[in-house]
């Protein structure tokens, strides 16, 4: 399930010698996981700086709403074009090296762009190219990171590790990075981009400093091609009944969430009449709910199990969205988005952990890529449906549409999670 942003597996037997990098035996260890966590948080901080500054730069360069929207669209398009390819490459290469090399490349791109902004040479065309290039590189980075984590922490610590990663990124991005943008812009229009370039460099150094053998994989079949690798990942995802159901469910959810993302600012400032201050309040409480959800996720999953945790969180989101779309009250909207963020973070942690636990180690990058690409495909469609719903039935309609799609997603998920009682990590993938 995606977050409200303009935004994740070995067979249940031996993983071929899983080991902790640099002795980091768990999320609390200061070894490999500590460095990966730091790299992820630093990188997310930089992304937040760029994400908050880029729209301001875009509207200063053009009056065309279409061109401004293309900048955002190019931040999604590479996932649909190259997401599966990124997963296939992640399973072929040393994932650690791929991650630091990608961050180094992104740092160079951002540094060059910062210089262009400083010299006054930036254009809307360059913004579109930059958004496309950064997300294209991200398709390899994110799939490599998902595939690498089970080699960094023990299997029983995956839920805690994912929770701490997502919580740290949420805090760094929403509560540290974004509020700092006005300060950096006061120092110079190029400063947010220069700072983003620096964070990529720091993240690359942290990941490169991991010293260990890459995870062992089963020998690749002779004559294997990228196309065959991609097909293997899709087949592995589809043959696992639980992951298949979870992917279909998340896709349905993302249709509604795409519509909510596209229209939330209009709903709060227009339909609720709460203005920019109200929108800031809603987004802030959503972020607080997400952080609290990340902190609570391991205990919730341990107490309820993976299957029930997903069902409960999805149901809670349906209730929150129903209130959001039917009651024209800012306090209700603030509370609803807080619940939505809390439940959504637990869903995200559980979803990623299940993909990591249930996918064969040698295909984890490809399964992760297939899951992401298929589930993210619902968001652009949802954005169009959300805008149409708001125009036809009023500002609360996108939230109600989202409630319906998430309810359908929960119902679609239930049959595939039967037998995953409590989400026991010891279960082998069902086919």
CATH of the domain at 280: 1.20.1250.20
Assigned domain for 408 exists:
yes
Question: For residue 272, what are the CA distances in angstroms to 221, 248, 264, 277, 326?
Answer: 59, 33, 10, 12, 11
Say if residue 284 is in the same domain as residue 182. Answer: no
Say if residue 171 is in the same domain as residue 242. Answer: no
Question: For residue 124, what are the CA distances in angstroms to 58, 70, 184, 185?
Answer: 6, 9, 21, 19
Say if residue 96 is in the same domain as residue 173. Answer: yes
Say if residue 291 is in the same domain as residue 415. Answer: yes
| Look-up of token digits 């942690």 | 349
- Please identify, among 190, 215, 240, the residue that sits at the C-terminal boundary of a domain: 215
Say if residue 166 is in the same domain as residue 311. Answer: no
- pLDDT per residue, tens digit, the chain (431 aa), is 545 554 332 222 222 222 222 233 344 444 578 888 888 889 888 888 887 788 778 878 887 766 766 776 677 778 888 888 888 888 888 888 888 999 999 999 999 999 999 999 998 889 889 988 988 888 888 888 877 888 888 878 888 989 998 999 889 888 888 788 888 888 988 999 999 999 999 999 998 887 645 555 555 555 568 888 888 888 999 999 999 999 999 999 998 998 888 788 888 888 999 887 888 888 889 999 999 999 999 999 999 999 999 999 999 999 999 999 999 999 999 999 999 999 999 999 999 999 988 888 888 888 888 898 888 878 878 877 888 888 889 889 999 999 999 999 999 998 888 766 444 443 444 33
| Look-up of token digits 């309820």 | 304
- Please identify, among 215, 242, 257, the residue that sits at the C-terminal boundary of a domain: 215
Q: What's the whole-model pTM score?
A: 0.78
By residue range, what is the domain housing residue 317?
A: 225-431
Say if residue 381 is in the same domain as residue 427. Answer: yes
Say if residue 352 is in the same domain as residue 284. Answer: yes
Say if residue 230 is in the same domain as residue 202. Answer: no
CA–CA separation, 222 and 225 (whole Å): 9
Assigned domain for 141 exists:
yes
- Report the domain count for the chain: 2
């Amino acid at each position: 399930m995606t977050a409200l942003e303009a935004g994740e597996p070995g067979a249940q037997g031996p993983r071929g010698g899983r080991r902790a990098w640099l002795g980091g035996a768990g999320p609390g260890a200061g070894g490999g996981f500590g460095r990966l966590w730091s790299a992820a948080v630093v990188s997310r901080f930089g992304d937040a700086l760029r994400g908050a500054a880029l729209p301001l730069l875009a509207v200063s360069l053009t009056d065309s709403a279409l061109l401004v929207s293309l900048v955002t669209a190019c931040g999604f398009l590479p996932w649909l074009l190259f997401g599966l390819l990124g997963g296939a490459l992640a399973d072929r290469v040393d994932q650690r090296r791929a991650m630091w090399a990608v961050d180094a490349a992104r740092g160079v791109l951002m540094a060059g762009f910062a210089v262009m902004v400083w010299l006054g040479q930036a254009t809307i065309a360059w913004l579109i190219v930059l958004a496309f290039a950064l997300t294209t590189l991200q398709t390899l980075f994110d799939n490599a990171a998902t595939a690498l984590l089970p080699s960094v922490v023990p299997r029983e610590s995956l839920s805690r590790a994912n929770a701490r990663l997502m919580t740290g990124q949420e805090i760094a991005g929403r509560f540290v990075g974004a509020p700092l943008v006005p300060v950096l812009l006061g120092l110079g229009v190029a400063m947010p981009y220069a700072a983003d370039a620096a964070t990529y460099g720091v993240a690359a150094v942290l990941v490169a400093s991991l010293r260990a053998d890459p995870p062992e994989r089963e020998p690749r079949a002779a004559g294997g091609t990228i196309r065959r690798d991609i097909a293997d990942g899709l087949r592995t995802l589809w043959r696992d009944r639980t992951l298949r159901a979870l992917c279909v469910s998340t896709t349905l959810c993302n249709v509604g969430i795409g519509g909510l993302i596209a229209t939330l600012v209009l709903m709060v400032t227009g339909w609720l009449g709460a203005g920019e201050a109200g929108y800031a309040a809603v987004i802030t409480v959503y972020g607080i709910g997400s952080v609290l959800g990340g902190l609570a996720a391991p205990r919730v999953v341990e107490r309820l199990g993976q299957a029930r945790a997903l069902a409960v969180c999805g149901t809670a989101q349906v209730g929150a969205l129903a209130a959001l779309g039917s009651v024209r009250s800012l306090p209700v909207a603030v509370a609803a988005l807080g619940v939505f963020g809390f439940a959504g973070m637990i869903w995200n942690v559980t979803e990623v952990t299940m993909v990591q636990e249930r996918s064969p180690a040698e295909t984890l990058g490809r399964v992760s890529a297939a899951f992401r690409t298929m589930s993210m495909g619902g968001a652009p469609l949802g954005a169009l449906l959300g805008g149409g719903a708001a125009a036809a039935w009023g500002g609360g309609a996108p939230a109600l549409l989202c409630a319906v799609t998430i309810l359908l997603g929960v119902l679609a998920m239930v049959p595939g999670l039967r037998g995953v009682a409590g989400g026991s990590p010891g279960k082998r993938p069902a086919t």
